[in-house]
A and B are shown apart, each in its own frame.
Chain A
Amino acid sequence: MTSPDKKSGEAYWKATLSLLTVILILWFVVSFGFGIILQPALDSIHLGGYPLGFWFAQQGSIYVFLILIFWYAARMNKIDREHDVHED
């Protein structure tokens, strides 16, 4: 038995998980990707006086983390309303 309520709950969860996946991919790319794995290669490019890989590891990844959380919070509020599960 699948009630309409349950169906909308599943759609909400699916939307949540796809947003989560995008956030976590970006989170991984800037820190583990640019800051660690690709750091030696990126260091040949310079951002002002910063080697780029070093910048991502000590500055850039933190700024991106910040953007990711606020973006997530805003997107989730929208998803909540679209699926009518938001708080009053």
Chain B
Amino acid sequence: MDLKTLTFVVVGLSFALYIGVAIWARAGSTSDFYVAGGGVHPVVNGMATAADWMSAASFISMAGLIAFLGYGGSVYLMGWTGGYVLLAVLLAPYLRKFGKFTVPQFIGDRYYSNGARLVAVICLIFISFTYVAGQMRGVGIVFSRFLEVDIVTGLLVGMGLVFFYAVLGGMKGVTYTQVAQYCVLIFAYMVPAIFISLNLTGNVFPQLGLGSSVATGEPFLAKLDMVVHDLGFQEYTSGNKSMIDVIAITMALMAGTAGLPHVIVRFFTVPKVKDARSSAGWALVFISILYTTAPAVGAMARYNLHATMTPGVLTGETFAEGNGLNYESRPDWMKRWEATKLIKFEDKNGDGRIQYYNDKSKDAEFNAKVEAAGWKGNELTVDRDIMVLANPEIAKLPDWVIALVAAGGIAAALSTAAGLLLVISSAISHDLMKGILTPDLSEKSELLAGRLAAAVAVGVAGYLGYNPPGFVAQVVAFAFGLACASLFPTILLGIFSKTMNKEGAIAGMLSGLIFTFGYILYFKGIFITPMAENIPANWLFGISPEGIGTVGAILNMLVAFTVAKFTAPCPEHIQHLVEDIRTPRGAGAATH
């Protein structure tokens, strides 16, 4: 069977699995639709949370980012896992005790204000749509590369599938399909990682392989440091960002993770407060399997890439004549990926060989050697997204592994897209319609409204995936920055401060939101041209737009406390509500 047919079969089988699970777990009530009936086992919920959280970005892009950033990629690893500690100890158990369906509903009830609820709905919709556009794009890329179908066809198939199980099954259907998707994606991620680790270091665990030695006896990381250094790049194990910025970005990713609505609502589905605590731990167990493997995948992919393009670099003969890979005899995987334009070669010095190095190096000694060797600039551009997708081909793994990676990428994108569509639809049907506009909606009409909202959201997401606003990459900073600066501090204060009042919360949320939104807009210029160059010299306190959510969160809390001090105190019955949230006893099933 050729690779394409095999990929169709593997992806088709995974789709059949998801559809089967969705039919088995369809929703019958609003409680099923919003919180899966509230009876999900903590380990099952942990697994579903892991699939919900690990998106196309985690599966496809993260290892590639780490491959090119080296130590600098640590912000994603620590940020996207450390957030679960915050979630487990600061938010999840208390929100579970509160026992309602949605995040805006908590904010509206705790701050006794439909205005606060509306602001929360706006934050939620913005954060979630940003995210979902990226997922749909991921589905499109995988379809067009591996199945060689038109990107529109790929998108339509993906949308149809998500529509089917999110709209039919609600939270219940999504939960159990996410469990199936987790199994597919983690298997697809681990198999090539284990093969590659065995090949390079002889260690079956990639986590240990990264700390082992290569065949010649040198530690792998030391060898990789030498390889990238000899090609003029920054050493792999050291960073080049300022410490304050690294701290701010890590913090923004952590608090942003804890404040993402589609992750928070997963903890509304477990039966008890106790389960919400342990479920966060289980989620992190399942996430860690991928997140501790990703650094190994990144480092080894980078090593293999240099070893392929510049074989002599492994023996210290970087500049020897005839060292670069002869373009005519390039491997098949490179030809296949050239068609997608994600890898490009331009023969600048006309020698027919590939020179892949850092032509922006400031090392005079290195530049002199480059000059002497007759290199006329870097000739290869590699998109970081192909590092995971092309990895099995680069490492010459069997065809079924390549097909599996395609199915895994699609599973990661679909599971996250479904979770996001669900929080968007519940924010519209439950918070906006039932909560604010038409409070006398019957349960049956609310369920219908929820399904209609999910259907519309799928359509919008598909459109955004086909027609990506050229700024998908930039808006990711938005999603985390906004979650970190708006929702996270407001929920936190709602639990840990009994005296925080409505005025303080709304003023805080708005100032965090507007400040962060404005700062990112100022440097990244989404919709408008940037107003200042995005360089460290221009940044506030030396913090980049990726990390500014941290400052936004601090501002949110400062404004909230100041405003609360000068306005009417929080009513007695709300203070009792907060006391009640803080103790686990009496947590019933989630209700309206």
| A interface list, Cβ under 8 A from B | 9, 12-13, 16, 20, 23-24, 27, 31-32, 35-37, 39-40, 43, 46-51, 54-55, 57-59, 61-63, 65-66, 68-70, 72-73, 76-77, 80, 85-87
**Contact assessment for A49 and B273 in the assembled complex, using a CB-CB cutoff below 8 Å:** no
A55 to B272, CA, bound (A): 36
A23 touches B285 (CB 8 A): no
Number of interface residues, chain B, beta carbon within 8 A: 53
Instruction: Give CA–CA (A16, B277) in the complex, Å.
Output: 13
- Which of these binds chain A: B10-18, B287-295, B352-360? B287-295
Instruction: Check B273–A23 contact: CB distance below 8 A.
Output: no
**4 extra A-B contacts, CB within 8 A, seeds A39-B71, A63-B288:** A20-B90, A31-B82, A87-B272, A87-B585
B5 at interface, CB cutoff 8 A: no
Main secondary structure of the interface of A (DSSP, over half): helix
Q: A34 → chain B, closest Cβ, in Å? A: 10
Q: Are A48 and B212 in contact (CB under 8 A)?
A: yes
Chain B residue with Cβ nearest A32: B247
Closest to B586 in A: A87
Partner of B237, one of A51, A73, A76, A85: A51
Residues A49 and B219 in contact, CB atoms below 8 Å apart = yes
Is the pair A65, B77 in contact by a Cβ cutoff of 8 Å? no
B74 an interface residue at 8 Å Cβ cutoff? yes
Instruction: Point out the residues of chain B lying under 8 angstroms from A58, CB to CB.
Output: 66, 71, 73-74, 77, 210, 292, 295
Smallest Cβ-Cβ distance to A23: which chain B residue? B89
State in angstroms the CA–CA spacing of A27 and B90 once bound together.
13
Query: Using Cβ atoms and an 8 Å threshold, which residues of chain A touch B292?
Result: 58-59, 62-63
Q: What are 24 contact pairs spanning A and B, CB under 8 A? A: A13-B582, A23-B85, A31-B82, A32-B247, A43-B238, A49-B220, A50-B210, A54-B74, A58-B66, A58-B73, A58-B74, A58-B295, A59-B207, A61-B78, A63-B292, A65-B85, A70-B278, A72-B277, A73-B278, A80-B585, A86-B585, A87-B273, A87-B586, A87-B587
Interchain CB contact under 8 A, A55 and B211: yes
Residue contact A62 to B291, C-beta cutoff 8 Å: yes
CA A16 to CA B273, docked complex, whole Å: 14
List, in ascending order, chain A residues with CB within 8 A of B90's CB. 20
Contact between chains at A87 and B274 (CB < 8 Å): yes
B589 on the A face (CB < 8 A): no
Considering the complex, give the chain B residue whose CB is closest to the CB of A16.
B582
Interchain CB contact under 8 A, A49 and B212: yes
Residue numbers in B under 8 Å from A77 (CB-CB): 274, 277
Q: In chain B, residues 212-251, which have Cβ atoms closer than 8 Å to a Cβ of chain A?
A: 212-213, 219-222, 237-239, 243, 246-247, 250-251
B212 contact set on A, CB distance < 8 A: 48-49
- Which chain B residues lie closer than 8 Å to A80 at the CB level? 274, 584-585
Interface status of B84 (Cβ within 8 A of chain A)? yes
Decide if A37 touches B243 in the complex (CB within 8 Å): yes
Interfacial chain B residues near A73, Cβ < 8 Å: 88, 274, 277-278, 280-281
Interchain CA distance A68-B284 in the complex, whole Å: 11
Residues on the B chain within 8 Å of A9, using CB: 579, 582-583
Bound complex: CA A59 to CA B291 (Å):
8
Q: Is B135 an interface residue (CB 8 A)?
A: no
In the complex, which residues of chain A have a beta carbon less than 8 angstroms from the beta carbon of B88? 69, 72-73
Whether B81 sits at the interface, judged by CB under 8 Å, is yes
**A85 neighbours in B (Cβ, 8 Å):** 583-585
Give B90's nearest chain A residue, CB to CB. A20
Query: B221 contacts which of A36, A40, A49, A72 (Cβ < 8 Å)?
Result: A49
Distance (Å) between the CB of B20 and the closest chain A CB? 32
Quick one: which of A58, A65, A77 has the most chain B CB within 10 A?
A: A58
Contact with A along B258-283 (1 / 0, CB 8 A): 00000000000000111001101100
B172 CB to closest chain A CB (Å) equals 23
Docked Cα-Cα span, A63 to B77, in Å, equals 12
Asked whether B213 lies within 8 Å of A49 as measured between CB atoms, the reply is yes
B209 nearest CB across to chain A (Å): 9
A50 and B82 form a contact (CB under 8 A): no
CB pair A66–B281 under 8 Å, yes or no, is yes
- Cα A55 to Cα B274 with chains together (Å): 32
Find the B residue at minimum CB distance from A48.
B211
The complex places the Cα of A47 from the Cα of B246 at a distance, in Å, of: 23
Bitwise interface map of B from 80 to 102 toward A, beta carbon under 8 Å scored 1, else 0: 01101110111001000000000
Tell me, in angstroms, the Cα distance from A37 to B251 when the chains sit together. Answer: 13
In the assembly, what is the distance between CA of A27 and CA of B88, in Å?
12
Residue among B82, B239, B243 with the highest chain A CB neighbour number at 10 A: B82
Contact of B78 among A55, A57, A86 (CB under 8 A): A57
The reply to whether A59 and B278 form a contact with Cβ atoms under 8 Å apart is no
CA distance A54 to B220 in the complex (A): 13
In the complex, the answer to whether A31 meets B250 with C-beta atoms within 8 Å is yes
Contact A62 B211 (CB under 8 A): no
CB of B576 to closest CB in A, whole Å: 11
Given contacts A49-B222, A50-B210, A59-B207, contact A43 B582 (CB under 8 A): no
**CB contact between A62 and one of B78, B213, B239 (< 8 Å): that residue:** B78
User: Which chain B residues in 572-588 approach chain A with CB under 8 Å?
Assistant: 579, 582-587
Question: Which residues of the partner chain B approach A12 to less than 8 Å between Cβ atoms?
Answer: 582-583
Verify A65–B284 contact, CB threshold 8 A: yes
CA distance A69 to B89 in the complex (A): 8
Taking the closest CB of chain A, its distance from the CB of B227, in whole angstroms, is 14
Residues in A neighbouring B71, C-beta threshold 8 A: 39, 54, 57-58
Nearest CB in chain B: distance from A14 CB, A: 11
The listed residue (B89, B280, B585) touching A20 by CB distance below 8 A is: B89
Residues of chain A within 8 A of B211, CB atoms compared: 47-50, 55
4 tightest Cβ-Cβ pairs between the two chains A and B: A49-B219, A57-B74, A69-B281, A48-B211
Q: Which residues of A contact B272 (CB under 8 A)?
A: 87
Q: Closest Cβ of chain B: how far from A2's Cβ, in Å?
A: 13
Q: In the bound complex, do residue A54 and residue B221 qualify as a contact, i.e. CB atoms below 8 Å apart?
A: yes
- Smallest CB separation, A79 vs chain B (Å): 10
A39 to B73, CA, bound (A): 14
How far, in Å, is B283 (CB) from chain A's closest CB?
A: 9
In the bound assembly, the distance between CA atoms of A50 and B71 in angstroms comes to 12
Say whether A65 contacts B237, CB under 8 Å: no
